[in-house]
Amino acid sequence: MATTSDIKKGMCIEMNHDTFIVVEFQHVKPGKGNAFVRTKIRSLISGKVLDHTFPAGHKVDDVRIERRQYQFLYEQEERLNFMNQDTYEQIDISREMLDGVEFLKEGEICDVIFHAVKEIPLAVMMPQHVTLKVVYIEPGLKGDTATNTLTPAELETGAKIRVPLFIKQGDLIRINTETSEYMERVKA
């Protein structure tokens, strides 16, 4: 049993017969009244994101979890197949359990969060940054380079993002999977 002072990003809690992962949290101490913790939690069963406020000192049922590294192998009918790097055991996971799935390519290493007692997968965590190749980019207009103009680009996984005009087809770029934004061009 944990309290609200133990809440942190990535923590799993059980509440209302569901398991949630903490996406964001903020401890608030107003000038008047009692302190509280404002959270944004995502259901690991339905995938819904909820805003929930806990009073300070409130007890929460934390879930003991284990993070294990798995390699993404392939996708088949909305199911993603992963392989454990140590035991070569394969598991298939629903596409909804993964944020940033549009940036997932074969061979990518992800952290799979397991319920330590029930031994069931709860969520898949993408790496924070991935490097992908640009397969198509809209041509830029002459003279647009003076400002921070962005142009649509399609990546090798089929994802579409906006990138600066100096990016060319075939370039490798690094993407932040949490914000789905371009970070930098990678030298090959």
Q: What percent of the chain has pLDDT over 90?
A: 45
Placement of tokens 């993070």 in the chain = 67
pLDDT at position 141 = 65
Cα(44)–Cα(143) distance, rounded to whole angstroms?
48
Taking only the tens place, the pLDDT of each residue in 8-32 is 888 889 988 888 989 899 999 988 8
- Whether the pLDDT of residue 47 is over 80: the answer is no
- Whether the pLDDT of residue 173 is over 90: the answer is yes
Q: Are 72 and 85 in contact (CB under 8 A)?
A: no
The listed CATH number (3.40.1030.10, 3.40.640.10, 2.30.30.30, 2.60.40.1180) that belongs to domain 2-62: 2.30.30.30
- Whether the pLDDT of residue 117 is over 90: the answer is no
Residues 6+ apart with CB under 8 A from 86: none
pLDDT at position 145 = 59
Structure confidence at residue 140 as a pLDDT band (50, 70, 90)? low
Q: Are 21 and 42 in contact (CB under 8 A)?
A: yes
The superfamily CATH assigns to domain 129-186 is Nucleic acid-binding proteins (2.40.50.140)
State in words which class domain 65-125 has.
Answer: mainly beta
Smallest CA-to-CA distance from 20 within 7, 37, 32 is with 7
Structure confidence at residue 142 as a pLDDT band (50, 70, 90)? low
pLDDT at position 110 = 92
pLDDT at position 130 = 93
Q: What is the pTM of this model?
A: 0.75
Smallest CA-to-CA distance from 185 within 131, 144, 140 is with 131
Taking only the tens place, the pLDDT of each residue in 69-116 is 999 999 998 899 999 988 999 999 888 778 788 999 999 999 988 888
Q: Which residue intervals of the chain bear CATH 2.40.50.140?
A: 65-125, 129-186
Q: Which residue intervals of the chain bear CATH 2.30.30.30?
A: 2-62
